[in-house]
Amino acid sequence: MEKSLIFILPLLVGYVLDLCFGDPHSWPHPVKVFGNLISIGERLLNSGKLRFLKGMLLCLFLCILTFILFYFGMSYLFEKNIYFYFLLASVFVFFGLANKSLITEGRAVFDQLNSNGLDAGRKRLSWIVGRDTTGLSPQQIRISVFETMSENLSDGVIAPLFYYFIAGVPGIMTYKMINTLDSMIGYRNDRYEQFGKFSARLDDVANFVPARLTALLMVLVAWSGRGFQFIVRYGNKHKSPNSGYPEAALAGILNVRFGGPNVYHGKLVIKPYIGDNDRVVDHKEFQKVAILNNKVTFLMVLLLVCAHFLIY
């Protein structure tokens, strides 16, 4: 079987499936399994002494286990039934991507805010962000959606595609395990400060290249010199070593100010501002950001196909 077809067919089918269907909540999903395993491990291990060590061992065990199971499982399928292999590989690429869902959820917040008022917008935003939304203004709600969409374009789309390019289905699924670990236990609070620290740092490492690649793709498809200037000026100002880059890119593209103080889990977190143009964001601007996300995703898929042909 030609190597290019093995790589490209699941990539393209998975991309089209995500473009069409997104991530239906009622469907079975490997991330749900990952979440259950993490919850079990956390309940068993996150107590007493040596919490950092136990959290590190849990993280490494789950990531290595994920890679091994998918590597040998997909290899077995490839040998036994190539058609079933292509089917499952395509489905796992589909499961690894979240562009359609990201746009759908962001649009739902904008629509609720526009149609049903401030309280509805705050409530819907709380579904997709970790910050306290109860005191946010309409402007802050819209900015929060754009910040989330830019950040998650990196870890929900570009990073999974990046790791699929590096290691196929085992790569994309292992990255999803890392990302799920960080989203569940990578918090700086009394419960997770020590236990989840290794997972949070591993997620930072895994997203180092994808976050910067995402920012560059964003300014490229938007052809925004200001976006590139914002990446250079503000990308490393964010508390996260990675989130600031795609956020800075989008802030520059839109010429709007991101960042500032927000409440997370009852604590005020002071974030630096990205940009200085505190203009009002219009409801209609969501469509521009949605189109940008779709263009970036398409360009990334195209680049991976071209890179594969150049290498192989």
Residue 2 lies in a domain: no
Answer with the residue of higher pLDDT: 266 or 216.
Answer: 216
Q: Dig out the tokens for 107 from the structure.
A: 């649009």
The set of residues, in sequence order, having a beta carbon less than 8 Å from that of 186 and lying 6+ positions away, is 192, 196, 197, 199, 200, 203
Cα–Cα separations (whole angstroms), residue 196 to 68, 101, 176, 260, 301: 23, 27, 16, 25, 32
What pLDDT is attached to residue 266? 63
Helix (H, G, I), strand (E, B) or coil at 136: coil
DSSP designation for 48:
S
Contact indicator for 141, 109 with CB cutoff of 8 Å: yes
What pLDDT is attached to residue 243? 92
Helix (H, G, I), strand (E, B) or coil at 192: coil
Residue 169 lies in a domain: yes
What's the pLDDT tens digit per position in 262-298?
Answer: 766 666 677 889 999 999 999 999 999 999 999 999 9
Residue range(s) defining the domain that contains residue 162: 10-284+293-311
Least confident among 18-32, 159-173, 275-289, 295-309: 18-32
- If 0-12 CB within 10 Å is exposed, 13-18 middle and 19+ buried, where does residue 237 land? middle
What pLDDT is attached to residue 160? 98
**% of the chain residues with pLDDT over 70:** 97
What's the pLDDT tens digit per position in 76-130?
Answer: 999 999 999 999 999 999 999 999 999 999 999 999 999 999 999 999 999 998 8
* Domains of the chain: total: 1
Hunting for tokens 């291990």 — which residue is that?
45
What pLDDT is attached to residue 159? 98
Residue 24 has pLDDT above 90, yes or no: no
Residue 55 has pLDDT above 90, yes or no: yes
Residue 56 lies in a domain: yes
Residue 1 has pLDDT above 60, yes or no: no
Binned at pLDDT 50, 70 and 90, residue 312 comes out as confident
What pLDDT is attached to residue 114? 95
Q: Roughly how many angstroms between the first and final C-alpha of the chain, as a whole number?
A: 14
What residues pair up with 267 in beta bridges, in sequence order? Answer: 264
What's the pLDDT tens digit per position in 183-207?
Answer: 999 988 889 999 999 999 999 999 9
Task: Over range 168-181, report the average pLDDT.
Answer: 98
* HSE-CB for 35 with a 13 A CA cutoff: 7
Nearest to 183 by CA among 3, 50, 31: 31
Cα–Cα separations (whole angstroms), residue 106 to 28, 111, 222, 280, 281: 23, 9, 20, 18, 14
Which helix (H) or strand (E) segment holds residue 273: the answer is strand 273-274
Q: Please give the radius of gyration of the chain, using alpha carbons only, rounded to the nearest integer.
A: 20
Strands 262-264 and 267-269: antiparallel
Residue 214 CA, chain-centre distance (Å), reads 11
Residue 238 lies in a domain: yes
Least confident among 44-53, 177-186, 267-276: 267-276
Residue 5 lies in a domain: no
Residue 3 lies in a domain: no
The highest-confidence range among 16-30, 71-85, 255-269, by mean pLDDT, is: 71-85
* HSE-CB for 137 with a 13 A CA cutoff: 4
